[in-house]
A and B are shown apart, each in its own frame.
Chain A
């Protein structure tokens, strides 16, 4: 929709050109959320497109995803065959409430910065041990794990003027075996619980719970836990108040679905299912 209070769009091409952050500013990445709701507090958009950050860079140890990388670019990335966790990318893209048409515009960074419990790029990058690089207004940089970046429903560590620059995924994480489970109140709807599990080469099991909880909750076990161990661990680590409540799922149901999907993942990766 038209953002009628916006009177200016800045188009910086380098970090040095980023304007001094003021009340009424908003970063414009894809804009798919920004333009989807009235934003009467905004007067200026700072367009990140002209920074021309390379969308995806494969380095020796990490896959670097620019915050402005679109969901479609990530989904279309040709992954080497030993990245056996790469099916998670498409699974998480499909977990978007929005269709493929939005994926062309929406960005990975935008989804993470929205910090909705159901944000599938949060689930994906958190499960793959992603680390965020944040550009601070004073010119410094801050690094924080994706799972710690999101602190609550639509809450994160960003201070006003902070800019998420990129997410670095360890290649080692992409080489893990993985399992994905998601449930929604409707067949292709918003995730009420989205869980990702993985097993590393030492046999360690990791589980990332998103969607059902207000922020990502991660579990790691040096070896595959039993069903009871996993269940107890979840019951202990996720108190009832951490389960998200909104129109997309009641918290008690989300809790049961979390336990159920976690066990399905465990069983799949343990090879008992």
Chain B
């Protein structure tokens, strides 16, 4: 067969049932991405005879005789299609994994479609941006600035990977071809709780092309947690690579390594597993009740499981003051029970990676991870390898959102590579993402609060039941975080917390953007509004009266004696003012029928700028012979924009421009350590290390230059890619040459230990309309104010805020993983798990507080997770304002809102 792809002829023949997507990738067109492999996300869009199609749905044989254009062929070699340029100018991407499909789709829209982008783009999901920047690209808006030498910090500079991203040339995890690579598929448990009695591998092993079948008999006898933290004892040791007991439907049972995915799948189907079925429990309240089946009965406090008999993996209890007495005396009280559902990160790049053992005996792992260094540490530990015999790295990662702060596939990859001695690849399907990776922790939160007549908060109590699923990765830290900043942001003399994280026989929960806070803030901010309403005080005023002010202790029970959280800066007051002003601004009147009720709501959040108990980053920067710099950092780029910010920090400290900073990142082979890109630390912690390294190098340059020029180092200054010592002037290139002549390379290191920590703030406001007859919601206005300190890159930071609001709107309005009575995920695909598309997301006005942090790099603070946190709460408050009904469960879908609306507002 003959295929014409990007103007070139190919004479390969696809397999009978092969889709065009994998055929194109097989022929080296890695710009064609897999987000869902089911036609829902559009990441695999290509042009067929000039028309956009989803290549995952097109039988490959049908492309014969037609012209196929992938992103690589959209523009002539070396050139850019106008739409590619528009995406660059608007910086209409973050992780960039959806970008190729988005550009090909946008490039083919006609004028009518451009007038109706909600419909035109409903087949393209972007999980990162919130779509505003994509709309900007379609309107040819330019969002980027430039910066003179030494002034990069604070400017809206473009992402260095941009040109490669829009051309489809940026390499993501699976965009490599390795000779002789084998493929991994896993057999997964059909039962929520069962003992594996036996596994008959013979029929699978007899299949031609199967190289290995690996089971619990083949794995190191080691318990660990898939959660990655700097300090391993934050999570329970309750997981084996392959266990003899399975605890949720979808848990891996056996691994088949074969010459193709097709053979590996067939090998899995040929495995005969004898299961001994065990009783299961799916509801967290039932799980911790007496008599429930113990899911980890073999674990003890030595494994850091709090109470295995009662399925309690972690708990915390504490009280300051006397909440009961305060409630008894309060002028107004409120109690409500709030429920948050199970949601998925849905990063468009699925988990997976490639592993091989190199000729030096070093295990190499190219992975879709947020934590290469911690994963290296875990693999070395589990497989008993010297740390220098394990290398974990990533290039560009297609989204994370916390889901890749886990070791979910690398252990299998390592096992398969070590057992077979061959390069191996494991790429999870979208269904596997849903049924077997991790989710947000569903929580049930009862909030009780009281205030006195003057409007002072006098009592604040949280009772939390968190469902961690079958394994306890992140169960404790998420629970503790959920009960911390959500209430420590308020001054209140009486506070109480009772919180429990329960095991259930369901897919595990794990780290997720916001790390527990969105779930509790949904309850706390509702209670704050209800108290304000009860007292007849505006929600802004009531909050102003009760929020912590700079210098106030930030308290949540049980509390600890030592805290390293300081007010490096404080902008919560400004955020409230900014949102209030914007919400009051005149807006165009929107004509709505009398079925629509309107209302407004706000919510606030505080977040520590670094996770507790250690977060470490190393950076190294060297002056290159050409006068530029090489900067080595460990932190990972997955759309967070830190690659841009690190270059800005270094360029500012070294009086140069960002194009002079060559960034090497996220590879354990580069040396040093980096805890990982989670907890919004890519700028705050790793950026601090880069700043330190760059400033040390600047000092070294001055000293070197002063020696060379026989001047005092104190009079040497860096400016414009050179060092000026009095009247003498040395360019960095001359300096490098002089150093080289002495056999030296000017190089410096920087480290940040992630302590002390600061606090960042966000306030979200919504005006909504609710149709009392249908339950539909329209967002009329969305305003977000963020206290990000001195903003390193306003364009990118705005993107983080918009993306966080959009992702959170998904969890507020649409997204929900539903688990049926047998413990099975009912909707493991995007068409049944609705991610926000263009039509679903309003434009959000974004404002920044004017603060400078004394702890963060060059005054900056973290701003990746926290914009997500107040969204559900603010929307719930707006709904309550509009309808007079307090809705206490997300997502706010029309069919969920309808019964209470119908009860109150009567016949349709």
Contact = CB atoms under 8 A, between A and B. Distances in A.
Given A101-B53, A247-B827, A4 B266 contact: yes
A249 B895 contact: yes
Size bracket, chain A contacts = 35 or more
Interface of B: 15-19, 21-22, 37-40, 42, 45, 51-54, 56-59, 61-62, 105, 113, 118-124, 261-262, 265-266, 269, 429, 431, 773-776, 813-814, 816, 818, 826-827, 829, 831-832, 834, 837, 839-840, 893-896, 898-899, 902, 908
Contacts of B816: 247
A107 B646 CA distance: 50
Return the 4 tightest CB-CB contacts between A and B, nearest first: A99-B123, A6-B17, A3-B17, A4-B262
Given A37-B38, A104-B53, A256-B902, A188 B118 contact: yes
A120 B124 CA distance: 21
27 contacts: A1-B19, A1-B429, A2-B15, A2-B19, A3-B19, A6-B17, A7-B17, A31-B59, A35-B39, A36-B38, A36-B831, A37-B829, A47-B59, A49-B62, A98-B39, A98-B122, A99-B121, A100-B119, A101-B123, A104-B53, A183-B776, A188-B840, A247-B832, A252-B895, A253-B894, A256-B908, A257-B774
A2 B17 contact: yes
A252 to B, nearest CB: 7
A253 B895 contact: yes
Interface in A1-52: 1-9, 28, 30-32, 35-38, 40, 42, 45, 47, 49
Contact of A105 (B53, B122, B261, B840): B53
Interface of A: 1-9, 28, 30-32, 35-38, 40, 42, 45, 47, 49, 94, 97-102, 104-105, 183, 185-190, 192, 247-250, 252-254, 256-257, 259-260
A128 B609 CA distance: 61
A238 to B, nearest CB: 16
Given A185-B894, A187-B840, A256-B908, A5 B17 contact: yes
Given A31-B58, A247-B827, A101 B52 contact: yes
Contacts of B40: 36
Given A1-B38, A45-B17, A101-B123, A186 B774 contact: no
A253 B898 contact: yes
B908 A259 contact: yes
B16 A8 contact: yes
B59 A104 contact: no
A50 B265 CA distance: 31
Contacts of A2: 15, 17-19, 22, 261-262
Given A104-B53, A105-B57, 10 more contacts: A4-B261, A31-B59, A32-B57, A37-B829, A47-B59, A99-B122, A101-B52, A185-B834, A185-B894, A256-B902
A192 B58 CA distance: 28
Given A100-B123, A101-B52, A253 B57 contact: no
B662 to A, nearest CB: 39
B16 A185 contact: no
B39 A102 contact: yes
Contacts of A188: 118-119, 122, 837, 839-840
Contacts of A5: 17, 266
Given A98-B39, A99-B121, A188-B122, A252 B899 contact: yes
Nearest to B52: A101
Residue from A3, A187, A248 having most chain B Cβ neighbours under 10 A: A187
A59 to B, nearest CB: 29
A247 B826 contact: yes
Nearest to A4: B262
B627 to A, nearest CB: 48
A30 to B, nearest CB: 8
Contact of B113 (A35, A38, A100, A183): A100
A259 B166 CA distance: 48
A7 B17 CA distance: 7
Nearest to B22: A2
Given A1-B56, A35-B58, A185-B814, A97 B16 contact: no
Given A7-B16, A105-B53, A260 B773 contact: yes
B11 to A, nearest CB: 19
B901 to A, nearest CB: 10
A3 B431 CA distance: 15
Given A101-B45, A253-B775, A260 B18 contact: no
Nearest to B59: A31
Nearest to A96: B122
B317 to A, nearest CB: 37
B42 A35 contact: no
Contacts of A247: 816, 818, 826-827, 832
A185 B895 contact: yes
Contact of A100 (B57, B58, B120, B826): B120
Contacts of A6: 15-17
A255 to B, nearest CB: 10
Nearest to A31: B59
Contact of A9 (B16, B39, B827): B16
A1 B37 contact: yes
Tell which of A28, A42, A47, A104 has the most Cβ of chain B within 10 Å: A104
B18 A101 contact: no
A101 B774 contact: no
A219 to B, nearest CB: 19
A49 B831 CA distance: 27
Nearest to B20: A35
Contacts of B894: 183, 185, 253
B53 to A, nearest CB: 6
A98 B898 contact: no
A250 B895 contact: yes
Contacts of A104: 51, 53
Contacts of A28: 59
Contacts of A189: 834
Nearest to B891: A185
Contacts of A35: 19, 39, 56-59
Contacts of A3: 17-19
A2 to B, nearest CB: 5
A184 to B, nearest CB: 9
Nearest to A192: B895
A250 B897 CA distance: 11
Contacts of B895: 185, 192, 249-250, 252-254
B510 to A, nearest CB: 23
Nearest to B269: A40
A36 B834 contact: no
Given A5-B17, A45-B59, A185-B814, A97 B831 contact: yes
A181 to B, nearest CB: 11
A93 B54 CA distance: 17
B265 to A, nearest CB: 6
